[in-house]
Amino acid sequence: MKVIIAAAGTAGHINPGLAIANKIKQEDKDSKIIFIGTVRGLENDLVPRAGYELKTIDAYGLNKKISIENFKKMYKTFKGYGQAKKIIKEFKPDIVIGTGGYICGATITAAHNLGIPTMLHESNAFPGRAIKMLAKKTNTILVSFEDAIDRINKANKIVFTGTPVKIKKNEYSLAQKSKIIKEMGLEELKPLVLVFGGSQGAKKINESIIEIIKNEKNKNYQMIWATGPKQYDIIKEELEKENININYIKNIKIVPYIYNMEEIMNIADIIVARSGAMTITEISNLGKPSILVPLPNVSHNHQLYNAKVLEKIGAAEIILDNEMEANKLNDAIEKIVLDKNRIKTMGEKALTVSTTNAEDKIYSEVKKLVK
């Protein structure tokens, strides 16, 4: 099987593409897979690191505002269509798969016009503009959330598969959990709150946690807080102004990044995070209560729609970014962690929207298109 995967920009677009590629390789060891991306996004690091060839084209997201800059982007994106067409003609794929973002426009359109079977995977509950524009040209659209189905019009075929994620649910023994917690310098018996904002950190969440620390509000729970590498030194300096050593704070472990995220997510009692599609999928698959702070100013406010998937079933609380402050966050945390029954109930509700074996479901749909 010969496959082209179009994935560009953020890890939320690229990682599902890599997971699909890995599954195809696992099932068909003789398959040949290349990626199409741009010269600007994370694909330039993540794709080669995963062992796949990356070819680049010109592609840009367009806005509705009329400007010289927008016309330049339109010209370059049109040029990118020709570049994608050339790559497809040379590689002769059996299928072209897009995992969201502006890169899909040129690539999926070129494949469609050349008579190559196409597939799109949409990770968010509110589909992006590219997915909607390409619905008619795509043979199969795969979605991560059932909520997305009614938001895509005139599609040939839509299949609910979920998003492939690395983090899986594990049942750790008390001894294993105790060991992990002790290694972080935390207590075994206190509720554990995991706080993170993605690889870049989340400024409003971080500011609120700083205030919680300064005012010693976290007496009833403990935290492991991943600040994001770019934010860590800034936070360290901010705490030093209050004579607080970042390495010695009661009930809290602060790190730039969590490398054993699967372990920590599994043993945490609740999770405070942004609401990217992969995070929502991981939280629901693990069956964890959560407090979600959607990233504002993103396309179609899709993180809010992702968060609502869990909020509407009682599995999560939402705090909007512009409403986030220390007292509000602390109150929300305490209402959950101090009620063991609520932790259990919210976790069970999260599991009701979990999706397992996403890779298997996606591969099955790929095989249906590749004769």
pTM: predicted TM-score of the whole model, two decimal places? 0.86
pLDDT of residue 65: 59
pLDDT of residue 237: 95
Under CATH, domain 174-351 is a member of which superfamily? Glycogen Phosphorylase B; (3.40.50.2000)
pLDDT of residue 75: 46
Give the strand order in the sheet containing 192-196.
252-255, 222-226, 192-196, 270-273, 290-292, 316-318
pLDDT of residue 74: 56
pLDDT of residue 58: 83
Give the strand order in the sheet containing 158-160.
53-56, 32-37, 2-6, 95-98, 118-122, 140-143, 158-160
Number of Cβ within 10 Å of residue 272's Cβ equals: 26
Amino acid sitting at position 249: I
3-state secondary structure of 198: coil
Domain residues of the chain, as ranges? 2-163+356-369, 174-351
Is 174-351 the same fold as 2-163+356-369? Answer: yes
CB 14 within 8 A of CB 52: no
pLDDT of residue 248: 93
Whole-number Å distance between alpha carbons of 279 and 295: 12
Whole-number Å distance between alpha carbons of 103 and 52: 17
Length of the chain counted residue by residue: 371
3-state secondary structure of 14: helix
Spatial neighbors of 34 by CB under 8 A, at least 6 apart, are 3, 4, 5, 52, 53, 54, 55, 87, 91
Regions in the chain scoring below 50 on pLDDT = 62, 71, 75
2-163+356-369 CATH fold: Rossmann fold (3.40.50)
pLDDT of residue 128: 80
Nearest CA to 141 among 150, 131, 133, 151? 131
